[in-house]
Amino acid sequence: MRYLGLDVGDRHIGVALSDETATLASGLPNVERRGPRQEVKAVAALVRQHDVKELVVGLPRRLDGTVGPQAEKVLAFIEALRPHVRVPLVPWDERFTSVVANQALIEGGVSRKGRKALVDKVSAILILQNYLDYKKLAAPEALKPLA
């Protein structure tokens, strides 16, 4: 079962895809923001192309957990996308994801210009990987005591 993760930014939508076992997330090319119809069409095509069963969208909540203007934009994107994909859409708390992505790229020696191009993709990978890890830990089998 494959999952698709999105980091919806103002200029790009970072995209990540899980492997078949829903264990590892890896990046796909960003979707450029060129208007809602084109973006929705591009994401819906990725869902069909990769036979995605669930779509995880990073929701940038404020530090206190409330929904701010950026999160409202993401929620509007989710609602625009909903009629075009026939899979569950899961908003996932992405607080600090961009900070962690930037730090990882800095530590990897990526230039400032290179980081701008990669931060959305790395953020999408982090969002999806966090969700996949959560799903594995929350699975009933994970809660059984070790024998």
Domain range summary for the chain, segments of one domain joined by +: 2-143
pLDDT, mean of residues 39-52: 97
Residue with tokens 């979707």: 31
Fold of domain 2-143: Nucleotidyltransferase; domain 5 (3.30.420)
Nearest to 16 by CA among 133, 105, 90, 124: 124
Strand partners, 12: 32
Residue 11: is its pLDDT beyond 70? Answer: yes
Of the listed ranges 19-33, 56-70, 74-88, 94-108, the one predicted with least confidence: 94-108
- Residue 35 tokens read as 């208007």
The pTM score is 0.85
pLDDT given for residue 96 in this prediction: 66
| pLDDT tens digits, one per residue of 80-130 | 999 999 999 999 988 767 767 667 767 777 677 766 768 788 899 999 999
Question: Counting Cβ atoms within 10 Å, is residue 52 exposed (0-12), middle (13-18) or buried (19+)?
Answer: buried
φ/ψ of 110, rounded to 5, equals -80, 135
- DSSP letter string, 8-54: E-SSEEEEEEE-TTS--EEEEEEEE-S-HHHHHHHHHHHHHHTTEEE
